[in-house]
Amino acid sequence: MDPSSGDLPSLTGAPIIGFMVGCILFGCTLLQAYQYFMNYVQDSKFRKVFIISVCFLDTLHLVFSAIMIYRSIVDPLHHPAPDLVWTLKGMVTTQALLIVIVQMYYLRIIWTFVDINSTINPTITSVIRKFCLFISSYALAALVAFISYVEGVHSFSDFSKAVQRMLYIGVGSTAVIDTINAAVLCHLLFKAIPQNHQRLKSRGVIRLLILFFFGTGVLTAIAAIATIIAYFTRPFSVLYLAIEFTRSRLYANSILAMFNSKAALRQRMQVTSELKISSTLIFGDNADEAPPAEGSPVTEGPTAAA
């Protein structure tokens, strides 16, 4: 399709709905970020910088999306003008950066687990570390390649064959990495479940974490696959944007929900060696640190819904 022709795709319909859903989810991102900084003032600087980075990238993603939608709505035919392609480039670039840093954080969790858990076989530990390094390197390489190909985009749809291949590889890779990360985390946590039947509370918390990682991994993978299907079936439309307007919010909200659930989960934990490992694994806390006293700002922090 020639972008200079009058046959440009319209941003009405599904893309508008996707943008509205994205705005709602962005509100959830802001709420969860506010809850975190109000209730976890003693957390490490690394974690705070990480969360600020996630929120900043998600905000940029919304700004690019809003400019694209607004400029298209004021057009009589609701067409995204060719001179607005920079908003698409900015949107997908910030989204790619956000996705990769969240995936890297989950890989850091996996690395930390095998590093502090002496019960894991040294051979398995070595394999998992190599896996983390390989996935991290691949994710960074895919990010650089994806951004370089995005710079060559000149329209909102009907991309060149090279860009289409990169889209399928890049978005497909996020689905694969999310699925693998979720599977490895769930397996490691499952192995950490206390076998002592008197530790039912500890087992319940770990199972809840397993469900959380499984659910978020599957959800983000489904969103990535849906983007591929939407573009593959309708390459001359902007239907894929309906999903892209919301996909970054899934990552931002999932990671913030995990941090905001910290106090509520630790209150339910029994102080066992297994749970000390899990607390250090997920939240980066000192394994010898006792759970915060009831009534402190941390323990009273609200639990964010996933």
Cα–Cα distance for residue pair 264/210, rounded to 1 Å? 16
Q: What is the tens place of the pLDDT at every residue in 219-259? A: 999 999 999 999 999 888 888 999 999 999 999 999 999 88
pLDDT attached to residue 302? 32
Cα–Cα distance for residue pair 67/259, rounded to 1 Å? 31
Domain ranges of the chain: 14-283
Answer yes or no: CATH 1.10.760 is held by domain 14-283: no
Count CA atoms within 13 Å of residue 280 on its CB side.
19
Phi/psi at 49 (5° precision): -65, -40
Q: Which of 242, 292, 93 is CA-nearest to residue 283?
A: 292
pLDDT attached to residue 292? 43
- Here the tokens at position 121 are 């076989």
Position 38, amino acid: M
pTM of the model: 0.83
Cα–Cα distance for residue pair 1/186, rounded to 1 Å? 45
Q: Is 112 helix (H, G, I), strand (E, B) or coil?
A: helix
* DSSP letter string, 34-91: HHHHHH-TTS-HHHHHHHHHHHHHHHHHHHHHHHHHHHHHSSTT-PPPGGGHHHHHHH
Model confidence at 59: pLDDT above 90: yes
pLDDT attached to residue 246? 94
Model confidence at 122: pLDDT above 80: yes
Q: What is the tens place of the pLDDT at every residue in 149-183? A: 988 888 887 788 888 999 999 999 999 999 999 99
Cα–Cα distance for residue pair 119/174, rounded to 1 Å? 31
Please check whether residue 291 is in contact with residue 267, taking contact to mean a CB–CB distance below 8 angstroms: yes
pLDDT attached to residue 266? 64
pLDDT-derived band at 3 (thresholds 50, 70, 90) equals very low
Give the CA radius of gyration of the chain.
Answer: 21
Cα–Cα distance for residue pair 42/60, rounded to 1 Å? 27
Q: What is the tens place of the pLDDT at every residue in 273-298? A: 555 555 555 555 544 444 444 344 43
